[in-house]
Amino acid sequence: MLLHTCFRAAVDGDRAERLFGAKAGFDCRHSQRSAPPGDYWVRSERLPIVEPGVAVRSGSLWQDRVTLYVRYADGSIRSVGFTSATAWRYLELGAAFELPLPAAAARPVQLLWHVKGAANLRGLVLQPQLLSPDISHRYALQLTAFYAGFVGLAGALLIFNIALAAALRQRFHLPYCAMVLFLIGYAASSSGLLGQLTGLDNNLRLRLNVLLLAATLCSALLFARRFFAPQVTRGWLRPTMDVTTGALLAASLAYVVLMPIQERMLDRALTLTFLGTLLLTLPLLWRGWYARDRYARAFAIAWALPLLTATARVLQALGVVPWNFWIDNSTLIAMVLEACCSALAIAWRIKQLGEERDQAREQEMLARLLADSDPLTGLMNRRSFLREAIGRADRHVLVLVDIDHFKRVNETLGHDGGDQVLRVFADALRQAVPADALIARIGGEEFAVLAPGAATMMPETILTQIRAAAMPFDLAVTASLGSECGTIVDEAEWKRLYRRADDALFAAKRAGRDRLRWAEAA
């Protein structure tokens, strides 16, 4: 049950028992925010009949001391209160104070707060209401579920992105993880949980709220700058983002250090920097929406709702919209939804990066394949053949194959016809050798084949396959072969093996061509 209140400035000599019955001096028409900072009395309307164990709940504000006086039906007055240092004892989830009404024989009839050192940025006593124990317990369960759900989702998102950052090493993961981490800290502080667990001074907790929220927004701007494609943040937008980040940090640090000196000026400066950050997201989301990258559109949608809820909160801070618990916690609500949408956008971005990486690898493999192969026949070239051949300790058979009178082939068929003969010749070699053999074109019409030492019949098979191959235009094409067997541990052994196989090849040519010679026989 919400309570209607009136307020008046405190002066020396004020006594609670006289103020309960005083009618003059209390302002019941204007908003509490219209009053300047200072010390105040806030009086409630007469209370309805309430059940025992009822408590008074009100929002957390910047105050040095609050004392609640309760007048009972028998005329007695009792009090309960706290300072900023002891406020944590009455702080509940949702950053609200719950003060139990002192037990008495008579029923309570009216409440009176004495507030000292009020900054009065949002009010003096923020939306006071009477809560029964059952309703208070229900509030606690609902808020526990809300904050636990947020922290669980944000924690999972943080772990997920830390793992991705370690695996993918993308520049945007670090600021995004920082943003989620600061947001978890902000949730712990703004919910009041940090004060409950640590006994933190309440005004210091409010300072910490501002600092963590500013750090969250700065991390979000840095993340956007690194995440979006360069065309989205080009031109004036990039330096403006830097200036806005600096203004956010400066305004939040000034608030933390100087409060409560010139509290309203500090609060207005901080609110305007938050508003500037919101306005900056408009061109960012506009460009992201019209960018060709689909993930940019997904991210624009993800940030649309936080933009709306943050705008509502800024309007609340400026006094345009009255204070509301859910608007005050809209940052967490919006960021829960933003985290879900952003996770999809980041997954989309990672998918795109993976596709780009796979495409780059394919291009690299293709380039390497082209560098290692003969473009005409598709066989290995001399460089790749030597790289694969040298270093083999087992005995291998090396066969050098040279097309006989290839110059005449070119003169008869032309170079295009000669190229066709080379391709058919290469196919014949592929069909004649074992699957684990290396085949290379090491010169114009010269080829090399390397196979394990057991393939001693391979040279004869090659010669037979070449003779049986159907050449273009039914041209008769023959080849001479030179073979040798040995190890190829290093380059020196390769040179010896090649020289002996080459000598055997020349022996075959001298013997009339279209035949095979082994190095031993040569």
What's the pLDDT tens digit per position in 146-183?
Answer: 888 888 878 877 887 787 777 767 788 888 889 889 98
- Nearest-angstrom CA–CA distance, 418 and 408: 9
Of the listed ranges 145-154, 314-323, 482-491, the one predicted with least confidence: 314-323
Q: Contact, 110 vs 17, CB < 8 A?
A: no
Residue 366 scores a pLDDT above 90: no
> In DSSP terms, which residues pair with 482 in a beta bridge?
400, 517
Residue 522 scores a pLDDT above 50: no
What's the pLDDT tens digit per position in 368-422?
Answer: 666 678 888 888 888 889 988 999 889 999 999 999 999 888 888 888 888 999 9
- Nearest-angstrom CA–CA distance, 174 and 516: 67
Question: Which residues neighbour 506 within 8 Å (Cβ) at sequence distance 6 or greater?
Answer: 482, 522
Q: DSSP characters for 278-290?
A: HHHHHHHHHHHHH
Question: What tokens appear for 154 in the block?
Answer: 């944000």
Kindly state the average pLDDT of the residues 129-156: 85
* pTM exceeds 0.85: no
Kindly state the average pLDDT of the residues 84-103: 92
Give the model's pLDDT for residue 512.
93
Q: How far is CA 32 from the centre of its chain?
A: 43
For residue 508, give the nearest of 498, 495, 519 by alpha carbon: 519
Of 44-53, 137-146, 171-180, 241-250, give the range with the top mean pLDDT.
241-250
Q: Contact, 199 vs 88, CB < 8 A?
A: yes
Does residue 230 or residue 203 have the better pLDDT? 203
Residue with tokens 């700058």: 225
Residue 311 scores a pLDDT above 50: yes
Give the model's pLDDT for residue 330.
62
Residue 279 scores a pLDDT above 60: yes
- Nearest-angstrom CA–CA distance, 247 and 340: 29
